[in-house]
């Protein structure tokens, strides 16, 4: 597919913020939900949303950083009352995970080592958290009888060229295969894969904003051709919840979201600043892909998402019939440079007004 540019993009996603990923809605009233990596940007937004829109029996924040748990308790904290619990633990510790998952109905697995250069320079740590951690989540969930597990993935897991992406691809494979390994356990596993989260901790937008606030005269751009997928925190939370409601076990859910060139992101934030081209960092791609051509053979298209069906024998077409989706065309791939939906500067500035966590 030929790359899109800001000059030949087919459709401006000026109304992208209206896409809510709301339906279907999972039944969470009276349920206990555990969120690994629960003090991260996604975890905090997810917990806020669940406590505001549902009446769970309990939400368990599972993470290894006591200070971030303390900070989260000050902002979300005692107001929800007995519905929230903070649990110190690491996904590397299978016994601790199993202890935390007792009487849990659903698990959202958001814990990961996510920074591409960090993973390149610290490969053992990346593998311990992203791969062995996924294995520990699967084993603990099966042993404790958790009903549903949704694991968060990344666009970098499709056709990976860096260790972070490769480790998340391995994690995706573990969670899909876990449906075959569960035996008579009721536990079902699925994956949600999406792109960069606007304004999340560690993303490029807060980095640019800090440079602008500090009086920078230029913004660093790795390559003027670079494109990325974008989604907001609130959209990510709703997409995960709707995927939780839809899953039969084994799917990889991919939202239909817009792309934007990195030079356009920088220009939208600071129209009068020049750009310094600094070169691509270790492990970076020019463009991201969420569905490769090979996965396209088992992909269904829905109005707001794609569903990559598992290739295992347990999966039947009847399992997917409830989606109402249609197979994608031959040769289909879903990449940030050949996307048919693009984010404009005004739409980006509007989306950045959403609350950040």
> Helices 41-53 and 233-246, interaxial angle, to 10°?
60
Gap between the Cα atoms of 127 and 114, Å rounded = 11
Q: Residues 77, 71: contact at Cβ < 8 Å?
A: no
Half-sphere exposure of 58 (CA within 13 A, CB side): 16
Q: Residues 48, 61: contact at Cβ < 8 Å?
A: no
- Listing DSSP states for 264-314 in one string gives HHHHHH-TT-EEEE--PPTT--SS-EEE-HHHHTTEEE-SSEEEE---STT
Q: What is the pLDDT of residue 21?
A: 85
Q: What is the pLDDT of residue 9?
A: 44
Token duo for residue 314: 């347990």
Q: What is the pLDDT of residue 97?
A: 98
Q: What is the pLDDT of residue 2?
A: 40
pLDDT along the chain (357 residues), means of 10: 43 53 87 97 94 94 95 75 88 98 98 92 97 98 97 95 96 96 93 88 85 95 94 94 94 96 94 93 89 94 93 69 82 95 90 75
Q: What is the pLDDT of residue 75?
A: 86
Go through the domains of the chain in sequence order and give each one's CATH number.
Answer: 16-351 (3.40.50.720)
Question: In angstroms, what CA-CA distances link 260 with 98, 176, 198, 338?
Answer: 41, 30, 11, 11
Q: Residues 129, 310: contact at Cβ < 8 Å?
A: no
Token duo for residue 79: 């107001």
Give how far the C-alpha of residue 288 lies from the chain's centroid of Cα atoms, to the nearest Å: 14
Q: Residues with catalytic annotation?
A: 156
- Listing DSSP states for 153-213 in one string gives EEGGGSS--SHHHHHHHHHHHHHHHHHHHTTT---EEEEEEE-EETT-TTSHHHHHHHHHH
Q: Residues 153, 192: contact at Cβ < 8 Å?
A: yes
Contacting residues for 213 by C-beta, under 8 A, at least 6 apart: none
Q: What is the pLDDT of residue 1?
A: 42
Q: What is the DSSP letter of 256?
A: -
pTM, two decimals, is 0.91
């Amino acid at each position: 597919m030929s790359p899109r540019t800001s000059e030949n993009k087919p459709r401006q996603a000026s109304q992208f913020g209206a896409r809510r990923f709301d339906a279907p809605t999972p039944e969470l009233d009276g349920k206990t939900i555990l969120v690994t990596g629960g003090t991260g940007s996604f975890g905090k937004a997810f917990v806020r949303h669940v406590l505001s829109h549902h009446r769970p029996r309990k939400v368990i924040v599972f993470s290894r950083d006591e200070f971030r748990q303390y900070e989260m308790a000050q902002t979300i904290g005692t107001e929800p009352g007995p519905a929230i619990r903070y649990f110190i633990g690491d996904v590397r510790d299978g016994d601790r995970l199993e202890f935390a998952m007792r009487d849990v109905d659903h698990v959202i697995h958001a814990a990961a080592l996510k920074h591409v250069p960090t993973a390149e320079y610290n490969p053992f740590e990346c593998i311990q958290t992203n791969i062995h951690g996924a294995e520990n989540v699967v084993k603990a969930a099966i042993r404790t009888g958790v009903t549903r597990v949704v694991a968060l993935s990344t666009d970098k897991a499709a056709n990976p060229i860096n260790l972070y992406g490769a480790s998340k691809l391995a994690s995706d494979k573990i969670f899909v295969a876990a449906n075959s390994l569960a035996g008579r356990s009721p536990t079902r596993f699925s994956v949600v894969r999406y792109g960069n989260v606007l304004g999340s901790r560690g993303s490029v937008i807060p980095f640019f904003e800090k440079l602008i606030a500090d009086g920078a005269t230029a913004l660093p751009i790795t390559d003027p051709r670079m494109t990325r997928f974008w989604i907001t925190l609130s959209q990510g939370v709703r997409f995960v919840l709707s995927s939780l409601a839809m899953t039969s076990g084994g799917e990889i859910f991919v939202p239909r979201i817009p792309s934007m060139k990195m030079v356009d992101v920088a220009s939208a934030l600071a129209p009068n600043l020049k750009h310094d081209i600094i070169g691509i960092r270790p492990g970076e791609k020019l463009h991201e892909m969420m569905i490769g051509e090979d996965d396209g053979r088992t992909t269904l298209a829905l109005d707001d998402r794609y569903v990559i069906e598992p290739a295992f024998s347990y999966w039947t077409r009847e399992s997917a019939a409830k989606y109402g989706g249609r197979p994608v065309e031959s040769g289909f791939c879903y990449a940030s440079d050949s996307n048919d939906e693009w984010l404009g500067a005004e739409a980006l500035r509007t989306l950045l007004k959403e609350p950040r966590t």
